[in-house]
Structure 1
Amino acid sequence: MFSRAILRHLSTHGPTGAADLARELGTDANTARRTLQNLEEVGLVEADVPAGQRRGRTVTFAVQPERLEQLLAALKDYLLGR
């Protein structure tokens, strides 16, 4: 459920960092970071700093609308039995 809140926030507000997302969505930064990492692994968000270069840097995440559309289309097909 928190993943959906992050995707919605990024879609409506644009690129945002984990700490700002946490504050705006009412959770802690570690939860936001873990969720963003999971979303990044499946290609739904993209960071402006590569994973191996983030230590001590502020990272901004953006939703990947093409990937989101692909997954939504696949879900629709599944639910409709196609």
Structure 2
Amino acid sequence: MPSLIRPKLPPEVEMAISLLGNRARVDILRRLSMLGPSTIGRLHAAVDISRPSLNRHLDFLAKAGLVQTDPPAGMRHGKDVVYMVQSARVRELTQKYTSYVQGM
């Protein structure tokens, strides 16, 4: 049986596939865009995934630069965290993905 060969892709394209290929992450970005800056409680009420799963996805999105937190990680000390979409970064990533697919 032939094995799956994964083509080498630029890192930004790999990241876009990882993000855009995940329904939960796309929904989280969409809801945050619609709601505006939100605490995890407000966001959890708007999405249909478990709280631990939401936390994992938000961490991934924050590390990718698509979501910003206030206060930043490491400075929270019991404070409520507010999550915000970084629209410019979302546009940049989707444009790089689209350009790659179109052979540009």
Q: Which runs of 5+ in 2 are unaligned?
A: 1-22
| 1:66 Cα offset (Å) | 0.8
Q: TM-score, normalised by structure 2?
A: 0.73
Q: Counterpart in 2 of 1:4? A: 26
Q: Deviations over 1:5-28 (max 9, x none)?
A: 010011111011122212211222
Distance 1:27 1:71 in 2: 24
For the pair 1:72 / 2:94, whether they are aligned, the reply is yes
Give the number of the structure whose residues are more often helix, by fraction: 1
> What letter matches 1:43 in structure 2?
G
Indicate if the aligned counterparts of 1:47 and 1:61 stay in contact, CA closer than 8 A.
yes
| 1:54 Cα offset (Å) | 2.2
Percentage of matched positions with identical amino acids:
33
Indicate if the aligned counterparts of 2:32 and 2:38 stay in contact, CA closer than 8 A.
yes
Q: Counterpart in 1 of 2:16? A: none
State the aligned residue count.
82
Q: Counterpart in 2 of 1:41? A: 63
Q: Following superposition, which runs of at least 4 residues in structure 1 exceed 3 angstroms of deviation?
A: none
Q: Which runs of 5+ in 1 are unaligned?
A: none
Cα RMSD (Å) = 1.2
For the pair 1:22 / 2:49, whether they are aligned, the reply is no
Q: Deviations over 1:54-78 (max 9, x none)?
A: 2422101000011011001101101
